[in-house]
């Protein structure tokens, strides 16, 4: 199968102009301060209930089985995101093991319903702490873990685990650990960090929780929307929103983007429908230095995909996880979208002598959604 999501290898990113518009012109500190103060007052109201909104939203999401999931319009995109997390987690675990760690402890910050439990099991870790603001999600995560333990092979040692329901952008997590001495090899924060960029205090608390208990040489890894990409698309739109048949992003204004509290509404099929905040990455990188963290890598999903797919092992995992949609569909199956325009990019490649069929692809709309995100890896200085 030839692996080629829509847009991969296409247009380059021009973030320079966008970066300027996020940072503001001329560095007029005083004006910035005044704006920040205004912003703080105007966002105060949102601040009181944003965590509640997020928790309520994620608590209300129904856990659905594979049969329902496979009929979802974004089935392949979700698998693609999951593949990407698997590759990232697998590679970081390998690095930790290569550095000599035998008993690996992990913090899953914003664990949700436990979508990554199997990845931690496969990685042979010893201990996992799962934390999330949404109580129902944490309960489901814990039951999934118990179920996993029950069904494990007799001589397989499953990691021990602790489950914590808390707002990680407000509360100090280390005070809630069963083992007050516990230090982590890895903190994984997948599709979560952007909820904390509501204010400097919240973004910093989330970062503190991610990093303060990391061992020297430990990793803070994650995925989050790329602010440059979001602003680039917003600026290209003739209104305050952009999107397609699977997702929609709506800002409240454009032209100026505060460093914290720059809220937009994100909806994605039946999975996400909640306010989020721009994460201006250079600022996160700067803030992380307070915790002795340095940035190892930051890549857009497209870059990450292009690199990793060259590896045979990652390629075969991609097939196993059905992370791309076969084009044309096999055995009379239905494509994720009925609109043939969604597959124009695949049609262009189909039929070329060097291309193996079926192609592996994502529909254009799914790729436009997935390609908003970036993957980051920070490491604590030894
Ligand atoms: C898109 S889900 C991702 C879940 C999981 N990490 C995954 O990749 O499957 C985002 C999660 O972040 C959690 N979250 C958002 N804000 C949070 C906060 N302040 N503290 C803890 N968890 C938070 C939500 O409750 C939700 O479970």
111 lines ligand 1 (CB under 6 A): yes
133 lines ligand 1 (CB under 6 A): yes
344 is in an annotated binding site: no
Residue 168 within a domain: yes
Percent of the chain topping pLDDT 90? 68
Q: Which atom of ligand 1 lies nearest, measured to the CA of 168?
A: 20
Residues 276 and 280: their CA atoms lie apart, in Å, by 13
289 is in an annotated binding site: no
**Ligand 1 centre distance from Cα of residue 132 (Å):** 6
The larger pLDDT score, comparing residue 30 to residue 302, is at: 302
190 lines ligand 1 (CB under 6 A): yes
169 lines ligand 1 (CB under 6 A): yes
269 lines ligand 1 (CB under 6 A): no
Q: Which atom of ligand 1 lies nearest, measured to the CA of 51?
A: 19
54 lines ligand 1 (CB under 6 A): yes
The pLDDT-based confidence of 3 (bands split at 50, 70, 90) is low
The pLDDT-based confidence of 1 (bands split at 50, 70, 90) is low
pLDDT of residue 49: 65
Residue 285 within a domain: yes
Q: What is the average per-residue pLDDT within 80-106?
A: 97
pLDDT of residue 141: 98
Q: Lowest-pLDDT range, 7-16, 215-224, 229-238?
A: 7-16
Q: What is the average per-residue pLDDT within 93-115?
A: 96
The 3-state secondary structure of the chain, one letter per residue:
CEECCCCCCCCCCCCHHHHHHHHCCCCCHHHHHHHHHHHHHHHHHHHHHHHHHHHHHHHHCCCCCHHHHCCCCCHHHHHHHHHHHHHHHHHHHHHHHHCCCCCCEEEEECCCCCCCHHHHHHCCCCEEEEEECCHHHHHHHHHHHHHHHHCCCCCCCCCEEEEEECCCCCCCHHHHCCCCCCCEEEEEEECCHHHHCCCHHHHHHHHHHHHCCEEEEEEEEEEEECHHHHHHHHHHCCCCEEECCCEEEEECCCCCCCCCCCEEEEEECCCEEEEEECCCHHHHHHHHHHHCEEEEEEEEHHHHHHHHCCCHHHHHHHHHCCCCEEECCCCCCCCCCCCHHHHHHHHHHCCCCCCCCCEEECCHHHHHHHCCEEEEEEEECC
Q: What is the average per-residue pLDDT within 133-137?
A: 97
359 lines ligand 1 (CB under 6 A): no
65 is in an annotated binding site: no
187 lines ligand 1 (CB under 6 A): no
Q: What is the average per-residue pLDDT within 65-91?
A: 89
**Ligand 1 centre distance from Cα of residue 65 (Å):** 20
**Ligand 1 centre distance from Cα of residue 58 (Å):** 8
Q: Lowest-pLDDT range, 64-68, 105-109, 252-256?
A: 64-68
**Ligand 1 centre distance from Cα of residue 110 (Å):** 4
191 lines ligand 1 (CB under 6 A): yes
**Ligand 1 centre distance from Cα of residue 112 (Å):** 5
Q: Lowest-pLDDT range, 46-60, 278-292, 298-312?
A: 46-60
Number of structural domains found in the chain: 1
Domain extent, residue 147, equals 77-225+279-312+373-380
Residue 165 within a domain: yes
Q: What is the average per-residue pLDDT within 35-42?
A: 44
Mind listing the pLDDT tens digit for each residue in 307-355?
Answer: 999 999 999 999 999 989 887 887 777 888 878 788 888 778 777 767 7
CATH number for 133: 3.40.50.150
pLDDT at 376 > cutoff 60 = yes
Q: Which residues contact 334 (CB under 8 A, 6 or more apart)?
A: none
Q: Which atom of ligand 1 lies nearest, measured to the CA of 81?
A: 8
280 lines ligand 1 (CB under 6 A): no
Residue 174 within a domain: yes
The pLDDT-based confidence of 272 (bands split at 50, 70, 90) is confident
85 is in an annotated binding site: yes
Residue 185 within a domain: yes
Residue 213 within a domain: yes
pLDDT of residue 2: 55
Ligand 1: residue whose CA is nearest its atom 26: 112
**Ligand 1 centre distance from Cα of residue 304 (Å):** 22
Whether pTM > 0.85 for this model: the answer is yes
Residue 127 within a domain: yes
pLDDT of residue 22: 55
Residue 272 within a domain: no
**Ligand 1 centre distance from Cα of residue 354 (Å):** 42
**Ligand 1 centre distance from Cα of residue 190 (Å):** 8
For the chain, the average pLDDT equals 87
């Amino acid at each position: 199968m030839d692996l080629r999501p829509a847009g991969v290898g296409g247009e380059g990113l021009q973030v320079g102009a966008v970066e300027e518009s996020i940072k503001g012109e001329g560095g007029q500190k005083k004006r910035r301060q005044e704006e920040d103060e205004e912003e703080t007052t105007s966002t105060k109201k949102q601040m009181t209930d944003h965590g509640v909104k997020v928790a309520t939203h994620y608590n209300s999401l129904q856990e659905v089985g594979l049969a329902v999931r496979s009929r979802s319009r974004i089935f392949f995109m979700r698998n693609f995101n999951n593949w990407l997390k698997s590759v990232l987690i697998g590679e970081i675990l390998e690095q930790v093991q290569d550095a000599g760690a035998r008993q690996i402890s992990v913090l899953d910050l914003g664990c949700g319903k436990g979508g990554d439990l199997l990845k931690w099991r496969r990685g042979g870790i010893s201990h996992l702490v799962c934390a999330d603001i949404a109580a129902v999600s944490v309960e489901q995560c814990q039951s999934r873990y118990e179920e996993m333990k029950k069904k494990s092979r007799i001589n397989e040692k499953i990691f021990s685990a602790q489950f914590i329901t808390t707002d990680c952008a407000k509360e100090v997590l280390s005070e809630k650990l069963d083992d007050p001495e516990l230090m982590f090899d890895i903190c994984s924060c997948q599709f979560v960090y952007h909820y904390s960029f509501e204010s400097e205090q919240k973004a910093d608390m989330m970062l503190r929780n991610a990093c303060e208990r990391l061992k020297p040489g430990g990793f803070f890894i994650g995925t989050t929307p790329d602010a440059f990409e979001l602003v680039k698309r917003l600026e290209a739109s003739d209104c305050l929103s952009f999107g397609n048949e699977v997702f929609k992003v709506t800002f409240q204004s454009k032209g100026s983007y505060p460093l914290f509290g720059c809220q937009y509404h994100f909806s994605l099929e039946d999975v996400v429908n909640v306010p989020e905040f721009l994460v201006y990455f250079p600022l996160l990188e700067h803030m992380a230095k307070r915790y002795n963290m340095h940035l190892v890598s930051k890549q857009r999903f497209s870059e990450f995909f292009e690199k990793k797919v060259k590896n045979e092992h990652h390629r075969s995992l991609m097939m196993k996880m059905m992370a791309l949609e076969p084009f044309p569909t096999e055995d009379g199956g239905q494509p994720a979208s009925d609109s043939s325009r969604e597959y124009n990019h695949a049609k262009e490649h189909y039929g070329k002598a060097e291309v193996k069929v079926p192609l592996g692809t994502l529909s254009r709309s799914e790729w436009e959604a997935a390609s908003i995100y970036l993957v980051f890896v920070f490491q604590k200085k030894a």
